[in-house]
Amino acid sequence: MNYNPDVLNCIANLSNDEVFTPPELANKVLDLLPQELFRSKETTFLDPFTKSGVFLREIVKRLDRGLQDKIPDRQQRIDHILHKQVFGIAITELTSLLARRSVYCSKYANSQFCISKFDTESGNIIYKNIKHTWENGKCKYCGASQAVYDRGSEAEQYAYMFIHTDNPNKFFPNMKFDVIVGNPPYQLNDGGGTGSSAMPIYNKFVQQAKNLKPKYLSMIVPSRWFSGGRGLDDFRDEMLHDNHIRIIHDYLDANDCFPGVEIKGGICYFLWKNDSFGDCQINTHSSKGVTDAIRPLLEPGTDVFIRHNEAIPILRKIQKFKEDNFSTLISANDPFGFDVREENSYKRIKPSYSLKQSKDCVEFYYNGWRKDGLGYISRTSISKNTNWVDKCKLYIPKAWGTGTGETDWLKPLLISKPSCCTETYLVIGPFENKKIAQNVFDYTQTKFFHCLTLLIKNTQNAMKKVYQFVPLQDFSHPWTDEMLYKKYNLTSEEIAFIESMIRPME
């Protein structure tokens, strides 16, 4: 049997920032919409960050089927759909050509090969090469660094049309879009980080789309906004208080949506309805299957989204005890003041330490000490929390694992000698004696502790905030999982969920 693959399944991604959407995934997103929209001659659709054109192409296919009775002539039907109902804004010149080829069967809409001829090359899939608007070294629209993106005209600027304007209505004047749908660019590298540490940009596309006041909005975005993400606090607060978000499909592993693409924290897509509000239908996809529940996006007493439906009753039982949370024991970033940068640069100034012990020096834990040897540094080099140096404490990495209980396990360093560390670590403590420190260490080695941590930690990043669901205990004695399960009166089903979430301890 001959196999003719869909060419849009075969295109390599431009990068992890701009991920092409497989047709199967695009159709899952379109399935969220009321299907009568595709049986109306009046429904208008916009993909404001089109890349391959897959969303527009699949919308055209659905409209072509849905309007057969209303516009029987095929050519008249296609003309109506392409001229009156389907619109796109490309993110680059290359993707504008690709999208037109996917939708119009020609990269130029006014060519003889276009299935519905337009008067212009662009048709209704437009692109314009625009520049960033610099203010104090940053783009006022997207926040891009002028030092990184102010470059020659021959280089891609990544100044995306849709978000680099105060008036998104200007692209298609007098148009009112019923549906805005697509998969926006995810992030920009501003010289200060990559992956989950790079500057997110997808939030700006969501907010701009809402400014157009569509009836329906559906986008595919990284799930990092649920609990973390650089510069996403305001966006997260806005989304979690938006009860127009009616459906979320959350994929813990991005490979389930984008095979071969690593996106820390997973991927989600959502449906936002302008004229409907209430609790949200949460569908969580993992290697164990799919769970679903209808519940608020924001649980009382929390400021993040809890992606595991099974965790809600566990968290509610813990909250009834009204205990302080474990994050109160954890330091802020850079506990001893060694994160010093060169002026006007992200480049760190390396602390002056030695691998040989000498008088008036203390143990120094830095990134790579296990390989290169324990360091020793002068007490006079320590600029913060000098009163912690001589006390017992735990050091934990500020980044560990990947954000999944199937692979992650925190391994603190219990240090009783005079010591300090670089910004690679956070400090738990300090404590008055080693016995208490050991009991705290034992608590961090429970599945209970890890499960509650992973309700927030969905990438490798693990600043003190990720421990806010972990309740503080009386550390005059050690704790085990069995003791914790009994204390919080967890059911066999709740215990089974915790046990299934966390890998067996080594």
pLDDT digits (tens, 9 = 90+) for 294-323: 999 998 888 899 989 999 999 999 999 999
- Position 403 scores a pLDDT of 72
385 contacts: CB under 8 Å, gap ≥ 6 = 331, 335, 336, 337, 427
Name the band, by pLDDT with cuts 50, 70 and 90, for residue 484: very high
What's the angle, vertex CA 202, arms to CA 457 and CA 278, rounded to 5? 75
Helix (H) or strand (E) holding 209: helix 202-211
Alpha carbon distance 408, 127 (integer Å) = 43
Q: Provide the percentage of residues in the chain whose pLDDT is more than 90.
A: 72
pLDDT of residue 340: 87
Q: Which residue has the higher pLDDT, 501 or 16?
A: 501
Q: What angle do CA 122, 126, 127 make, to 5 degrees?
A: 110
Give residue 98's pLDDT. 94
Which pTM was predicted? 0.84
**Type and span of the H or E element at 45:** strand 45-50
Q: In which band, very low, low, confident or very high, does the pLDDT at 15 lie, cut at 50, 70 and 90?
A: very low
- Please compute the mean of the pLDDT values over residues 367-381 and round it to a whole number: 94
Examine the pLDDT at 195 and tell me if it is beyond 70.
no
Instruction: Identify the three-state secondary structure at position 398.
Output: coil
- In order of 69, 200, 232, 297, 304, the CA distances from 238 in angstroms are 42, 16, 10, 11, 11
Looking at residue 10, its pLDDT comes to: 46
pLDDT tens digits, one per residue of 351-360: 999 999 988 8
- How many other β-carbons are positioned within 10 Å of the β-carbon of residue 8? 19
Q: Phi, psi (5° rounding) for residue 431?
A: -125, 155
**Can you give the pLDDT at residue 458?**
81
Q: What is the pLDDT of residue 6?
A: 53
Encode pLDDT of 403-453 as tens digits: 776 778 899 999 999 999 999 999 999 999 999 999 999 999 999 999 999
The per-residue pLDDT for 16 is 45
pLDDT score of 194 more than 60: no
